[in-house]
Structure 1
């Protein structure tokens, strides 16, 4: 099989370099993987990503670079799929650093799945481990909080290209934060595709350690995710989607109670969060902050839904 690793990127040059160097160092069996390419789609970066990639092209012989104006990850992934030469697409994000046998692990599971099922009605989903360790991201152990129940998430997934084309690729209407990959997952599930886990296909998702300065951006992302969640529900008005986007009385009650009706918020919880950070526990602080972040998300969902009903 010929793998095309599709990576959208936007202003992430420092971690993108680590991402690409890890992909260039892949160890694989030619009987499993014939060849691979790395399709980088720059989504209008302003941090010198394009110039750096061109200046260092000799270090990245597998990279094929494409550019677009800033239109978001859906459009970037669609361009990557359209330009990809491989029969199989591997989606990762540009802040993911993979192990040396990452592609081999996906390839083996794709091969074994084909033999076991007698068809290619499936995709493989690798393991994503979150880390704030920029110097050595692959040193992070797997944690309970790294578990994901998502059906189709583009942080680490491999799928035959023709299924993406048949499903219609990503909906570029999802221009704000969230849900574009899970929405495509609903369409793939309707085509009869199954998820096969590939736990040895490990990627380390780097993000800065949590700090109070990040809170305004995180709140904005939750509000955006709420709005995009309503778009998701409009396309697929099912109870399953309502549960996914937290548009149920249960979620409203849960996060309303946990946040004391919004009284536990970014202001009232700031001293506790800063104390946890000072104790060297930024991840625990982030988990605590999810009390009010989820409350903002639920409010965003219901506000956006009310707007659609009033039109």
Structure 2
């Protein structure tokens, strides 16, 4: 099998270097993988990503770079699949640092899964471990908060390109943050594809330590995720999708109670969050901040849904 690792990127030059370096250090122990390439799609970066890559072509021999005017991750991944040479596509993000056994682990799981199922209607999904350790991201242990129940998420997944093409690739109307991969997952599930967990294919998802100045952007992402969630529901108007995007009375009640109707918000909770950050507990501060972030998300979902109802 020939792997094409498709990576969309936007203004992540610093962590991108670690991401690409890790992919150059892959240890392939048998002949399951004939070769691999890294298909990087720059989605209109303004931080000099393309210029930086042009001066380091010899450092990253597996990388082929393409660019587009900013259109979002869905369009960038579609372009990556179009340009890819491989029969197996691996999707990761440009802030993911993988281990040396990453590709081999996906290859082993794909072969084993096909034998067990008696079918090639499958894809493999590796572990994603969140970390804010920039200097040594792979030192982070697996945590309960890293567990994911997602069926198809592009943080660390390997799939035959024929299934992507048969499902129709990503819907490029998902231009804001969120849901484009899970929406494609609904279509893949209808094709009968099975999820094979692959914990040996580990990727470390780096993000900077949480700080209060990140909150406005995080709130904006939650509002965008709400709007894209409504698009997801329009395409697949099922109870399952309503649960996923938090557009139910249960979510409205839950986050309304936890946030005291919005009284626990980015302003009222700022002193507590800063106190935790000052004591080296930025991850705990972020988990607490998710109370009002989820409240913003639920409100964003219903606001977007009401707009659509009124316009129709």
Judge same fold: TM > 0.5, yes or no: yes
The whole-number CA distance in structure 1 between the counterparts of 2:142 and 2:50 is 33
Q: Is 1:58 equivalent to 2:58 in the alignment?
A: yes
**More divergent stretch after superposition (81-90 vs 109-118):** 109-118
Q: How far apart are residue 120 of structure 1 and its match?
A: 1.0
Q: How far apart are residue 31 of structure 1 and its match?
A: 1.5
Q: Is 1:301 equivalent to 2:305 in the alignment?
A: no
Backbone CA RMSD of aligned residues:
0.6
The whole-number CA distance in structure 1 between the counterparts of 2:67 and 2:266 is 38
**More divergent stretch after superposition (50-59 vs 154-163):** 50-59
CA distances 1:33-73 after superposition (whole Å, capped 9, x unpaired):
11100000011111111111111101111101111111110
Q: How far apart are residue 29 of structure 1 and its match?
A: 2.5
The whole-number CA distance in structure 2 between the counterparts of 1:206 and 1:242 is 29
SS of aligned partner of 2:91: strand
The whole-number CA distance in structure 1 between the counterparts of 2:139 and 2:113 is 30
Q: How far apart are residue 193 of structure 1 and its match?
A: 0.5
Matches within 5 A, 1:215-226: 215-226=215-226
**More divergent stretch after superposition (192-201 vs 111-120):** 111-120
In structure 2, the residue matched to 1:212 is 212
The whole-number CA distance in structure 2 between the counterparts of 1:266 and 1:98 is 34
Q: TM-score, length-normalised on structure 2?
A: 0.99
In structure 1, the residue matched to 2:246 is 246
Q: How far apart are residue 124 of structure 1 and its match?
A: 0.2
The whole-number CA distance in structure 2 between the counterparts of 1:116 and 1:4 is 24
Q: How far apart are residue 116 of structure 1 and its match?
A: 1.4
The whole-number CA distance in structure 1 between the counterparts of 2:308 and 2:170 is 22
Q: How far apart are residue 30 of structure 1 and its match?
A: 3.8
SS of aligned partner of 1:5: strand
Matches within 5 A, 1:220-299: 220-299=220-299
In structure 1, the residue matched to 2:186 is 186
Please, which runs of 5 or more residues in structure 2 have no aligned partner? Answer: none
CA distances 1:56-108 after superposition (whole Å, capped 9, x unpaired):
10111110111111111000000000110000000000000000000000000
CA distances 1:121-176 after superposition (whole Å, capped 9, x unpaired):
11000000000000000000000000111110000000000000000000000011
The whole-number CA distance in structure 1 between the counterparts of 2:211 and 2:32 is 43
In structure 1, the residue matched to 2:7 is 7
The whole-number CA distance in structure 2 between the counterparts of 1:30 and 1:80 is 26
The whole-number CA distance in structure 2 between the counterparts of 1:29 and 1:48 is 36
Q: Is 1:109 equivalent to 2:105 in the alignment?
A: no
Q: TM-score, length-normalised on structure 1?
A: 0.99
The whole-number CA distance in structure 2 between the counterparts of 1:253 and 1:52 is 48
Q: How far apart are residue 203 of structure 1 and its match?
A: 0.2
In structure 2, the residue matched to 1:93 is 93
In structure 1, the residue matched to 2:119 is 119
In structure 1, the residue matched to 2:128 is 128
Q: How far apart are residue 279 of structure 1 and its match?
A: 1.1
**More divergent stretch after superposition (108-117 vs 236-245):** 108-117
SS of aligned partner of 1:292: helix
The whole-number CA distance in structure 2 between the counterparts of 1:302 and 1:59 is 48
Q: Which runs of 4+ in 1 moved over 6 A?
A: none
